[in-house]
Structure 1
């Protein structure tokens, strides 16, 4: 199978700095590798030092620097962004999920703080640099923004709000030349979605409704991200790009 980055010019992001929050695993890591493959200088943040160190030692991560950053910490964000000589692409991929005690206030607020407020903190901190470079922001939301889940109350609320924030920031930052878009993944195989894809019965239901007849892989998100971050999407902003293999368009009645 052709690597997604092979569809683009190999130096597309040469000389560009890309900051990916929540990139030590899953979707964020796949996107970081995509930007690096096209010549970008990629900085990835996460909170688990063990994951960060493992990634530093992985030969697949050449061109990527892994840094510790908690997106709930305003001061740490300001310090990290102040160290950047420029910023061309900000990818907000940091996210957490809790399905236990969905209405526990402390847990709910923590999910909102990471998934929504963390993205806003980074966007506001990065705005001056992005305006200077004519850069763009890519928020990772979820297909759940268009549906609902009784088990994922805080996650659904946070990602739906981030989708709305994407549209709002597109207009807030647009006059400064900053584009803001979102990608809404569907059912992709990650550690976070493992309880679903590892259950044969539930997994089969997903596959039967999905037009392409399979689960998505994280690499399926790389091409859309590279496109939205590139000059090819110069007149695209305020959009939420659904990458779900056709799951939303299905009826679920097959």
Structure 2
């Protein structure tokens, strides 16, 4: 992974990283990136089939565990079982196009995408305080834009920006930094209905300043940076990683 080559070899040796939502897409790339940089990585997900697939394709340094981020007791037990934590990446997220106008679906998406980031961060805080670690939340270009087909996704990702700022000030006095990235259009299973159709694929590429879609690997470098000593005076920020799409 060329993005990891930018950083000093072994930058995260001896560090423990949890990537929630780390069994596919951006989360899986982040989990692999931290592992390649020397970290011990625990990647969680709620889909047993994705856990099985991730275990089959990934190498050493990665431990995949099942975790329902909506389950407060399960989240508490998960972090209680850790001896150390240096970085928490809240990458869990879903979108339910059109269905999110149903109130029950809306609330479920909000719970997975936003409330769980608060839930995991609170339970992880004592461990992060001990290591003066950091949290990286995953927002979205829809933190700044709107998509009428996914009102809950749009609202939850906008909320991630505000939550990141609040957590940064709450936890900063204890040396824990909290930042976020806001990915744009990256080639994942979630966006496949768009990039698999030439018309929509080209329309999105044309709006981007870099005239291309992002890859899941494009987010690895920014997250490693925000989690590293190079960013030790950076907190409360949300960094767009969208090739310039949202300012196009």
1:51 Cα deviation (Å)?
A: 1.2
In structure 2, stretches of 5+ residues that fail to align are none
Matched, 1:140 2:144: no
Matched, 1:162 2:132: no
List aligned pairs for 1:104-143, cutoff 5 A.
104-143=102-141
Which whole-Å CA distance do the structure 2 matches of 1:197 and 1:54 have between them? 23
Q: How far did residue 200 of structure 1 move?
A: 1.4
In the other structure, the counterpart of 1:149 is 147
1:197 and 2:198 matched:
no
2 CA distance for matches of 1:231 and 1:178? Answer: 12
Question: How many residue pairs get matched?
Answer: 248
Contact (CA 8 Å) 1:55, 1:61: kept in 2 or not? no
**Counterpart Cα distance in 1 of 2:44 and 2:9:** 24
Per-residue deviation, residues 177-230 of structure 1 (Å, max 9, x unmatched): 000000000111100111111121111111111111110000000000100000
1:35 is matched with 34
Alignment of structure 1 residues 1-254 onto 2, 5 Å: 3-58=2-57, 60-250=58-248
Q: Which runs of 4+ in 1 moved over 2 A?
A: none
Pairwise CA distance, 1:249? 2.2
Q: For residues 102 and 54 of structure 1, do their structure 2 counterparts lie closer, same or farther at Cα, with a shift above 3 Å needed? A: closer
In 1, distance between residues paired with 2:157 and 2:116? 12
**SS across alignment from 1:205:** helix
TM superposition score normalised by structure 1: 0.96
Whole-Å separation in 2 of the counterparts to 1:163 and 1:193? 22
Does structure 2 conserve the Cα–Cα contact (< 8 Å) formed by 1:116 and 1:162?
yes
Structure 1 unaligned blocks of 5 or more = none
Q: What displacement does 1:10 show?
A: 1.4
Distance in 2 between residues matched to 1:130 and 1:239, nearest whole Å: 18
